[in-house]
Each structure stands twice: as C-alpha cells, then as structure tokens.
Structure 1
Amino acid sequence: MIRRRAHFVGTYGLLTLTVLLFLVFSLVLPDTFPTMDNISSILSNQSIPAILALGVTVPIAAGRFDLSIGYGLGLAHVMVLHLIVDEHWPWQLACLTVVVGGGLAGIANGIIVEFARIDSLIATLGTGSMMYAATGWITDGGRIVPGPEGLPPAFTALYDSTFLGLPLPAFYVLALGAALWVLLERLPLGRYLYVIGSNPRAASVLGIPTHRISVVAFAASGLIVGCAGVLLAAQQQIGNPSVGLEYLLPAFVGALLGSTAIKPGRANALGTLVAVAVLAVGLAGIGQLGAQFWATPLFNGATLLIAVGLAGYSARRRLRTGALTAPGAERARHGRQDAP
C-alpha cells in the first residue's frame, strides 16, 4: 500500500500540484485568474519555453546537456527576420532555412561532443558563444526592424492565430509533446537514448551505436530550437540580438523537473509538459499577486535546484528498487539460497 502511494505521488504528484495551484490562485484572484483571457495568455506566453524544454529533453534522455539552446534561439529568430526583411526572401523559405540550419547546428554539437570527446556542457557552451557572435555579426549590434509595410501577415499569424478559441502556439506544443512521447516511449530510438543515458558502457556492449544516437539527439534539439526561433520571430516581429538567453534556465527547469513526474527518474515528454504547466501557473499567479521583477528568476532558480535534487533522488530510488526486485534479491535479503 505504501509503495503504491509513493508510486502515485512520484508519477502524478506534479500534475496534482498544478491543479492545486490553479485552484488556490483562482480562489485568491477570482476576478482575473480563472478567466479565458488569463488561460490564453498563459498558453501563449509559455509556448516558446515549453518548446525549448521539450527540445532539451531529448539530449537529457541520453545523458547530455545542450547549453547552446538560448544562443541558438536568439540566432534563429534574428536570422529569420534578416532573411525576410533585409534579404527579401519569401517567409516560407526563410523559416525552412532556419529550421534546417538549427538541425545542422545540432549535428555539429553532437559531433563535437561525441567524436572530439568534449564534455557536453563545455562543448555546447562554446558553440553557443559562437552562435552569439554570429548573432552580433548579422545585426551589427542593432535591431532588425521591418519597414513600413511590416512583415507578411501569414508569417505573424504563426503566433497570433487562434484555433478552437485557444492560441495556436499551444497546439504546436501539444503536437511536439505527442511526437516526442512516441519517439521516446514507443520507438527503438527512444529506448536506445534511455539506455545510453543510464549506462553508456552497457549500451556499447549491447551493440547500440551510442555516438550516432547521441548526435541524433543533438540534431533533434537543434531542429526544435530552430522551430522555436521562427515562432519567437513571429511573436517579437523585431530582431533583437540580446533575446534568447533568458529562455535557457526555464527550459532546463522544465525538462529536469519533468523527469520527476509521469516517468520518475528519467526525462520524458509528458513530464516536461506537466512541469512547464506548474511553472506557468505559478509564475502567472505570483505575477498577478504583484511580485517584483526579481521573483521570476528567483522562482526559476529555486525550482531548478529542487528539480535536480528530486531527479537525483528518483534515479537513486529506481536503482535501489531495481536491485531489491531483481531475481533472487528477495531470497538473498532473507539469507536464503537457491537449491542446488
């Protein structure tokens, strides 16, 4: 009974917390919080952090970290506007080019990490710095501002449109979350990623191409960052070279906190979505209560520490549980031996 309760708390505790937070803020702020306008605002404002959190979930599943996502996001959104505004490219071609470029950047990250054997934190921090330099070179330190004719309406509609009464970006998040759930939970590639993340040596012994699979994980992260950059450009409608880094911490908070839910002890898409929902509801609530500007980074930083601690605890608990439930473990614990 106790084990079942612990399993329920570990699996659905974060989702329950989301519901409780929403109810509490609805009672405290009945006129502003439980409204369709507020829900739409939360869904719209948190769409890009949610997409990035899902993006970093893939390499985290393989035990890698991609710190270049913030820099990559800034470069992607600037590049989209540069191609549309300065180079007069069709917006569809500009978006496709940036998304493909994000995938290529992810492949470069994977090759550096896997074949140059540089730690993923250091490697992606270095490539991210280079992306930031490219952003400054493209913009010359200034902003990219569209002319009087503005941006193509079909391009800005990528972010501004609604579907079934809800912001369209929310459906991008749901679609991406569903795709990654299938990838990680139902396809062999996902199982390979989890094996690599939990025990790289065992993965090699099993014949899993660890280096190639890890490069694929970084490539997926880069593609998702490219898509997020397109969406950010449609939202901002101005190319700002300083935008991007503020999305890094929320993305990792969502991915790491998500590894403590639904599938505790491992990064998973559904858990990431639940974690993003908790962060979104919490930030919206404290914002409407009149919190100061520094409350957001304080909230994100504290949540990151809690997420890392809980993720480590869940992983250790899974190892202990696996050891105790292994064949013969129960008999060994009671001093018994198999019959000869």
Structure 2
Amino acid sequence: MTASPPPRPRPQRPGPLSGPGRRTVRPRGPGGRLIGAYGLPALTALLFLVFSVTLPRTFPTLDTVDSILFTQSIPAVLALAAMVPIVTGAFDLSLGYGLGLAHVMVMRLLVGGGWPWPLACLVVIAGGVVVGVLNGVIVEFGRIDSFIATLGTGSMLYAVSGWITGGGRIVPGPHGLPAAFTDLYDSTFLGVPLPACYVLALALALWLVLERLPIGRYLYVIGANPRAADLVGIPTRRYTVYAFAASGLIVGFAGVLLAAQQQIGNPSVGLDYLLPAFAGALLGSTAIKPGRPNAMGTLVAVAVLAVGLTGITQMGADFWTVPLFYGGTLLLAVGLAGYSARRRLSTGAVTARDAPAAPPQPPPAEDDGPAGSTP
C-alpha cells in the first residue's frame, strides 16, 4: 500500500509589500487622500468662519483681508525661501540673518550711497545669491551639517549687519526714500496688494520648477535618498548648491520688500521672521502634496498661520501669544510633516513622475575578443 503524495502548496501571488517580516499596507482610499491633501485649506476656511462668527464687526471685512495680504507677504516669501533647501533635506537657518543684512544693505546704498533704487535692489538680490552659494558650498563640499553651517554663516551675516549700521539704525533724510521704491510694497494691482501678487507669482514659479521640470524631480530625489540619487547619476552636490542659491535669491528679494515696508534699517528685525518661515515651510509639506515640501502647500500653510494669528490678535490676546502660537505650530508642523512622509513611503505613494529620468548611459565597448588575446 503506497502513501498518497502530500498536497502541493498553493502558489501565492507576490505583492509589492509581501514577504517574510513585512506587513501589507493598504493604500488610503480617495477620501483619505483628499483629506490629507486638502485638509489644511479646509482648516483655513473653518478658522475664517469661526473668527467671522466670533468677531463679526472686525474680522470678516476687506480691511482685515488687505491687512493680512500686506503684513503676511514677507513671511510668505521667506517661507518659500526656506522650503527650497528643505526639498533637498537641508535647512537654512541663516534666512533671518540674511533678511536683516539684505534690507540694511538696501537702506545703506539708498541713504548713504545715493544709488538709484533699481541698481541697489539688483545688487542686494545678487548678494543674496552669493550668500546662498556660500551656504551650499560649505554644506556640500565642506561636509558640515546644514544646521551648524547655516547657523554659523547666519551669525557672520548678523555681524556684518551690525558693522554696516554701527549697532544703530539707518534713517532716511528729510526727503525720505524714492516714492517708486516704497511703491514696491505700498501699491496695489487691480485692487490686490502688490506684495500678495509677488507671493503668488513666486509660488507659481517654484511650483513650475519643482513639479514640471527635471530639476525639480532631481531635488526631490536628493531629499528622499541622496545615495540613490548618486547611483542614478544625479550630481547631488551641484543641485544642492542650486537650491541654496535659489533660497538666497528669494531672501534678497524679501530684504528689498522689507526695506520698502519698514523704510528704516534695523539689523535685528530679520530674526523675527525666522520662526514663521520654518513653521510655514514645514506645515506646508502636509498639504496639497502630503509628505513632501511644495510651494502651494507652503502658501496654504502661511494662510492658516495668518488667519489664526489675525484672529487671536483681534480677540485681544497678549503679546506673548504670538511666539507661543508660532512655536506650537512649528512643533505640530514637524510632527505632521514626519508622519506624512512616513505614511507616503509606507503606502508606496510614489508615482513615476517623482522618479528621476535615467541619465544617458555610454555605449557598450566593442568586444575585442577573449581576454588576454592580441589583435
């Protein structure tokens, strides 16, 4: 009597996350993706509604909207500047110091040097690019952590600001600054404050570069996995320096706007913008494109912060609530950004557009025959 053969195991269809020691993760449905992408814009609308009901006479007015668009334009520009290095996995802590130096230099060239204001603005913006390149070179070629490197360069920029101003303030003469220069901040375009138009144009430009051009895909890959970027032939050091240079250019532009707004040179004023900039940039990575820094998400995050801060200010909150609000938001933004990034990786939510195009490979060498043979 022969024994029957054992039953053959039933073949299983392999999955992308199947295997020993791996847990199958089901991707979120359309509802979950919509909440993750557009939850922050919905929160902005909800906060606006709540404050409008709570403060019906002061909050839902055109004056409040104009005030938000005017006062939050420079924090929005600086948040976009902070976002660009974050895409590559680096942080630029010299933003606030660079902003202070840029606006002090504009005032020095206009008041002390008598330069034409267009030339002074161009020189300051070009100087911002130089500072950004310096940061990128120190981080990438000096192999210094971006926190330490940019904190050191920021301290040096603050020292230069103090040297230029002599520890005081730069005050324009009795004739003031050129009207065309101050109109860069004070004027409107089609009824919309001109600074808000700058912010929108800058966000659209960054969205186009990061989402539609190859350089944007390269920067995202560098931020996600520098080792993989090296293996596929992406020059990580060069593109990281590009990111810091773009950040410096935007900071220089923000310094020009700050000088047109303040109309006085104060070397320490830029430090007040550092915390809001990083809060907006990090919180923005949880919206529109959850798990990755993006320009439109940063814009939405700045809107949330602006509406919340304006509402609590009109409710009569004390002065210390402003740093408390920004500090708590920054902690929340870091936590949510980390969770969004882990969630995005665990669900495999990486599309073909996120992956870089493979660099051209050299043609294979012709076969000259067996090894060791002579022609």
TM-score by length of 1: 0.94
* Structure 1 position 61, deviation (Å): 0.4
Q: Which residue of 1 aligns with 2:287?
A: 261
Tell me if 1:244 matches 2:270: yes
Per-residue deviation, 1:319: 1.4
Q: Is 1:139 aligned to 2:165, yes or no? A: yes
Cα distance in 2, alignment partners of residues 323 and 305 from structure 1:
25
Q: Does 1:223 align with 2:252?
A: no
State the match for 1:160 in structure 2.
186
Distance 1:151 1:246 in 2: 24
Corresponding pairs, count: 326
Give the aligned partner of residue 15 of structure 1: 41
Tell me how far apart the structure 2 counterparts of residues 134 and 89 of structure 1 sit (CA, whole Å).
Answer: 20
Q: Deviations over 1:63-114 (max 9, x none)?
A: 0100000000000000000000001111111000000000010000000000
Structure 1: how far apart are the matches of 2:192 and 2:213?
Answer: 31
1:151 partner SS = coil
2:90 to 64, 86, 111: 64
Q: Which residue of structure 2 lines up, in the alignment, with residue 115 of structure 1?
A: 141
1:118–1:317: structure 2 CA closer, same or farther, 3 Å change rule?
same
Change (3 A) 1:323 1:303: closer
Instruction: Look up the match of 2:366.
Output: none
Q: CA deviation at 1:54?
A: 0.5
**CA–CA distance in structure 2, aligned partners of residues 100 and 241 of structure 1:** 19
Amino acid at match of 2:247: S
Q: Secondary structure at the match of 1:322?
A: coil
Pairing 1:187–2:213 present? yes
Look at both structures and tell me which one has the larger radius of gyration over its CA atoms.
2
Compared CA separation, residues 212 and 324, structure 1 to 2 (3 A): closer
Please point out which of 197, 215, 230 is paired with 1:204: 230
2:347 alignment partner, SS class: helix
Distance 1:112 1:190 in 2: 22
How far apart, CA to CA, are the structure 2 residues paired with 1:129 and 1:242?
11
Cα distance per residue 1:159-193 (max 9 Å; x no partner): 00011212100000000000000011000110000
TM alignment of 1:22-61, pairs within 5 A: 22-61=48-87
1:331 aligned partner: none
Q: Select which of 322, 329, 336 maps to 2:348.
A: 322
Q: How far is the alpha carbon of 1:261 from its aligned partner?
A: 0.4
Question: What amino acid maps onto 1:24 in structure 2?
Answer: V
1:241: how far off? 1.3
CA shift digits 1:137-178 (9 cap, x unpaired)? 000001100000110000000000011212100000000000
In the alignment, the residues of structure 2 paired with residue 153 and residue 224 of structure 1 have an alpha-carbon distance, to the nearest angstrom, of 23
The residue type paired with residue 98 of structure 2 is G
Counterpart for residue 172 of structure 1? 198
Gaps (5+ residues) in structure 2?
1-26, 352-375
| 8 Å Cα contact 2:38/2:287 also seen in 1 | yes
Q: 1:324 to 1:252 in 2, by over 3 A?
A: closer
CA RMSD of aligned residues (A): 1.5
Using the TM superposition, give the Cα deviation of residue 3 of structure 1 relative to its aligned residue in structure 2, in angstroms.
Answer: 2.2
Structure 2 letter corresponding to 1:103: V
What residue in structure 1 maps to residue 7 of structure 2? none
Q: Deviations over 1:117-154 (max 9, x none)?
A: 00001000000000000000000001100000110000
Q: Offset at 1:259?
A: 0.2
Tell whether 2:154 aligns with 1:128.
yes
Partners in 2 of 1:310 and 1:185 — Cα distance?
22
Q: 1:6 to 1:132 in 2, by over 3 A?
A: same
- CA distance in 2 between counterparts of 1:216 and 1:229 reads 20
Give the letter for the 2:198 counterpart: Y
Structure 1 segments (4+ residues) deviating >4 Å: none
TM-score (norm 2): 0.85
Counterparts of 2:105 and 2:206, CA distance in 1: 26
C-alpha deviation, 1:226, in angstroms: 0.1
- Deviation of the 1:44 alpha carbon: 0.4
1:281 and 2:293 equivalent? no
